[in-house]
Chain A
Amino acid sequence: MAENVSTDPAPKRDPSPKRAPGNSGSHPEAESITPLSVGEVDDAASLAIDQKHMEDFASPDLEPGTVECLRPPKGAFFTVMPEKANERWQNRAYYFVLEMNDRDPYLVAKPVADAKKDEEDTIRPILLVRFVLMNGTEGLWPVKLNPPDGKTNKWNTSAMNVLRIAESGKWVRIISKGEYRYNVSGKTMEQVPPKFSDRTFQQLVNEAFPADRVIRSLDHPIWEELAHGSTK
């Protein structure tokens, strides 16, 4: 067996240690890392973090990712941009969407929606609203509208109410209990400023609805599928 090639146990400082021919190279850095103060196992009682803690910082910035057309998640606070008197419809707009079970929705061009409105009840008008979570994740909230026949739906009505609270400069969280209720965060916009990205509303819509999810004509295959079914 190889001999013991240990260095001498006595403290022997070597300011220019012998370079070894390893793969990543031996490059001792000048900046010292010691002395270091570290905890001890027996200190656990004093080191235990009080579980009543409430941090007052927001999460780190996240790069904008994909955009989804979904109701804001129930587990997170969100806010929306308010409408300015002279600059309306910059961050929300009415659209027609075609919704089918277990499928992502389609946007339907207005002329097509008008042409199909009597035969397809899967097309409905919605208000798409840009929202942002506290971590900077943006999305499009499809707020369903009450039908023009005067029959209101409490989900639709309560969603509009939540929207109004959010646009009044609050962080809100949706809670579903027979209708949409909400929780207003104790954090103000000053404490946690909303991090809307530089993308325009139209860019977000285009990301949420790529070309294959926009119906612009009456010969789109979806009509055939709706009329005669599909094995997909």
Chain B
Amino acid sequence: MDATTAAAELAALDANRAALSERVVQPWWYDALLGLLIAGFISSYSSHNTWVILIALVVFLAGVRALIAVYRRITGLWVNGFRPGRTRRAIHVFFVVYAVVLGAAAAFEFLLDVRGAMVVGGVVLGIAVAVISHWWTRIYVAELRGER
């Protein structure tokens, strides 16, 4: 194979990935619903009731499952959020925010007995997840477009 053919094949690959980048972006409400599901589940801990928390967990898992199905239906593909690459930055930030916010909210709710702290933590985490999910997609799109 000569250099011209190889260059043409690489260019075609780049063009295909750039075209794919337009397909992978989720609608805004996807991030909003994901944030809402997280907020709802975390907030349920403020009830101090095992049944409420279990029901919230079931709703959360069913909601996430439905969101995945909707994303697959819209885009025709699935990408693991924990994939290797530059998107890991967003995942690392998510874990730090998750640990800090959840730790603080749980400490206030269960150690200092501040009722409703988990609701505040849930809302903060829900907003954080929505923002980080959107940021993750932007990083992924930039990667597909070959941007640095």
A binds B: no
B interface residues with partner A (beta carbon < 8 Å): none
A interface residues with partner B (beta carbon < 8 Å): none
